Amino acid sequence: MMVGFETRLRELAPEVLGAVLRRYRDFEAAEDAVQEALLAAALGWPRDGLPDNPRGWLVQVAFRRLTDEVRSGQARRRREEAVAGELEREGVEVFEDAGADAGGDDALLLLFMCCHPALTPTSAIALTLRAVGGLTTGEIAKAFLVPEATMAQRISRAKQAVKASGVPFERPGAEEWPERVRAVLHVLYLMFNEGYTASAGSELLRVDLAEEAIALARSVRRILPEDGEVAGLLALMLLTHARRAARTAPNGDLIPLDEQERTLWDRAAIGEGIALVGEAFGRGGTGPYRLQAAIAALHAEAPRSEDTDWRQILALYDVLGSLADNPMVTLNGAIALAMVEGPRAGLERLAALDRDGRLAGHHRLAAVRAHLLELAGEHEAAAREYAQAANGTTSEPEKRYLTRRAERAGFAAPGETPQQRGGSSVKGT
């Protein structure tokens, strides 16, 4: 299928699911119907061309699929008469109305609908990443640091919990939006992360996914303009996404943060992000997204890698670590500590993660340890850790980068520093 059609279908999927769910309120049936509509489009559009109203076309096909289920007895008995009666009354006009809805609002509405009161925050986030972000179960599992089978069960249980609760899967009332916003922000954060550094495949970035997360974050901010964490998350996304043009070489290879050509960074996005950081902290209080945005702003403001204010970054990571027990925060904090107090101090902090099963075998832990060992002059040990990290990632650009680092560390002369060999770090991208 042509790339343009693939991109358009990814963009439309959450909007179409939102439109179908608003009418039928059965997540599993709606998801199945939308998947069939997307499959029909994938097969038909490259041959027949893009319809005049692609979204309406997909919604119509999904509605017809649900109609067929009702008429053939596949739909649940409690829905059969209601759906069939509604379709008989509305006929073709149902499809025309469905295609005329404001698509962007459907994606935002679906985001809040999936953060259903019957679900735990973790289950709501997993379900929403499937529906809104279009992430696979494997990608979601990586984000949560759990096996794929565990995540598949969690998503299945989430769907069943919504059904069993008897609480309609519908637009939340205005008073419910603030209650659901924390789960919504976590969804957007993970969705952006997958777009910024894809967990698998031949490309490092999934720009469409990252930009969709940014667009949805802007929409949430329009609804909740006084929320400092909403502003902080949007700032974090903008400041991070601003580096996208400098993160890969022409052949797609990863370029680490300290080697990036900073003139390629998007200065307009950085300016907007820094302004949002000031606004977010001006609201009073603090939170994880504001703190991470402040860290990203410090990186963005440094004209050169060596000008980075690592002491302030370390202080922010220490505050961030006090808010929640997050192994990734500890991992990133270890890098900052190494830049301030030396690689041995960073390695000591990593030892705590060796005892934390959540990152056991994770390639990022091995990659950071390799970098710090290399800085400490333990090149053979660093080479082994780089090789382990390369074997652990399913991202092809990351694998190539880590393999090269393993080779360079393995052939390092005693006493030579990574800088003397022209090597680079894994301090971030």
DSSP letter string over 171-233?
PPPGGGHHHHHHHHHHHHHHHHHHHHS-SEES-S--HHHHHHHHHHHHHHHHH-TT-HHHHHH
CB 303 within 8 A of CB 315: no
The SS3 assignment for 62 reads helix
Question: How do residues 124-178 score in pLDDT, each as one tens digit?
Answer: 888 888 877 778 888 888 888 788 899 888 888 888 887 787 776 676 777 777 7
Kindly tell me if the per-residue pLDDT of 327 is higher than 60.
Answer: yes
Dist CA 321 CA 316 (whole Å)? 9
Alpha-carbon distances, residue 358 vs 113, 230, 249, 332, 388 (angstroms): 29, 27, 32, 15, 17
Q: How many domains are there within the chain? A: 1
Tokens of 284: 């009073």
Please indicate, yes or no, if residue 10 is contained in any of the structural domains: yes
**Percent helix, percent strand, percent coil in the chain, to nearest 5:** 75, 0, 25
Residue position matching structure tokens 């960074």: 265
Range of the domain at 41: 1-101
Kindly tell me if the per-residue pLDDT of 352 is higher than 80.
Answer: yes
pTM over cut 0.85: no
Kindly tell me if the per-residue pLDDT of 394 is higher than 80.
Answer: yes
* pLDDT for position 136: 83
Please indicate, yes or no, if residue 404 is contained in any of the structural domains: no
Q: Between these two residues, 341 and 42, which has the higher pLDDT value? A: 341
Kindly tell me if the per-residue pLDDT of 78 is higher than 70.
Answer: no
Alpha-carbon distances, residue 388 vs 350, 401, 425 (angstroms): 16, 13, 16
Please indicate, yes or no, if residue 82 is contained in any of the structural domains: yes
Furthest-apart CA pair in the chain: how many Å? 81
pLDDT-based confidence at 412, cuts 50/70/90? Answer: low
- What value, to the nearest 5°, has the Cα angle with vertex 200 and ends 194 and 204? 65
- What value, to the nearest 5°, has the Cα angle with vertex 298 and ends 275 and 193? 85
User: CB neighbours (10 Å) of residue 377?
Assistant: 15
Please indicate, yes or no, if residue 11 is contained in any of the structural domains: yes
What stretch of H or E contains 394? strand 394-395
* pLDDT for position 4: 64
Residue position matching structure tokens 């030579």: 416
CB 307 within 8 A of CB 339: no
Please indicate, yes or no, if residue 55 is contained in any of the structural domains: yes
Please indicate, yes or no, if residue 12 is contained in any of the structural domains: yes
Dist CA 214 CA 204 (whole Å)? 18
* Total residues found in the chain within this entry: 429
User: CB neighbours (10 Å) of residue 15?
Assistant: 25
C-alpha neighbours within 13 Å on the C-beta side of residue 164: 8
Give the chain's mean pLDDT: 82
Q: Give the least confident one: 291-305, 306-320, 352-366.
A: 352-366
Dist CA 129 CA 19 (whole Å)? 17
Kindly tell me if the per-residue pLDDT of 217 is higher than 50.
Answer: yes
Please indicate, yes or no, if residue 22 is contained in any of the structural domains: yes
Kindly tell me if the per-residue pLDDT of 22 is higher than 80.
Answer: no
Provide the β-strand partners of residue 200.
Answer: 394
Please indicate, yes or no, if residue 167 is contained in any of the structural domains: no
Kindly tell me if the per-residue pLDDT of 88 is higher than 70.
Answer: no
* pLDDT for position 188: 92
Q: Give the least confident one: 92-101, 133-142, 288-297, 349-358.
A: 92-101
